[in-house]
């Protein structure tokens, strides 16, 4: 039951994460970029969900990153928003790569 709850919470957090990022990117009026981002997100979603289900510290790190990005957007500081978003995405990517390598089935 706990495993199910963790998976369900990770699914909700994954959806909220996409909603946060897509809301910010949508106003750039770049439909092709949005389609590519959505496609990439859809391909990685199962790994992100699994990673979030196992990493209890991730919501705190992710939320801190989101707060900084949102504050930069509110200040209309495009350079800071871009820098914070890049750092946030790279950190999330590194975390995901670590998760995949750590949980890779042996012998393959």
pLDDT tens digit string along 28-77? 899 999 999 999 989 988 877 776 666 655 666 667 889 999 999 999 99
Report the phi/psi class of residue 104: left, alpha or beta, with left for phi > 0 and alpha for psi in -120 to 50.
Answer: beta
Half-sphere exposure of 56 (CA within 13 A, CB side): 2
Q: What is the signed CA dihedral for 27, 30, 33, 35, rounded to 10 degrees?
A: 80
Structure tokens at 66: 């989101």
Is 108 part of any domain?
Answer: no
For 88, the domain range is 2-102
Is 107 part of any domain?
Answer: no
pTM of the model: 0.73
End-to-end CA distance of the chain: 30
Is 92 part of any domain?
Answer: yes
Is 30 part of any domain?
Answer: yes
* Number of domains the chain is built from: 1
Q: Is 107 helix (H, G, I), strand (E, B) or coil?
A: coil
Is 57 part of any domain?
Answer: yes
Is 39 part of any domain?
Answer: yes
Q: Is the dihedral of CA 47, 52, 54, 58 positive or negative?
A: positive
Is 10 part of any domain?
Answer: yes
Q: What percent of the chain has pLDDT over 70?
A: 78
């Amino acid at each position: 039951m706990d495993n199910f709850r963790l998976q369900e919470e990770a699914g909700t957090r994954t959806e909220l994460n996409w909603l946060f990022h897509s809301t910010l990117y949508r106003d750039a009026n770049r439909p092709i970029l949005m389609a590519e981002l959505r496609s990439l997100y859809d391909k990685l979603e199962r790994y992100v969900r699994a990673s979030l289900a196992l990493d209890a510290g991730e919501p705190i790190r992710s939320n801190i990153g989101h707060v900084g990005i949102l504050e930069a957007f509110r200040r209309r500081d495009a350079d800071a928003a871009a820098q914070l978003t890049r750092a946030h995405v790279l950190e999330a990517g590194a975390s995901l790569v670590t998760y995949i390598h750590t949980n890779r089935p042996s012998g393959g």
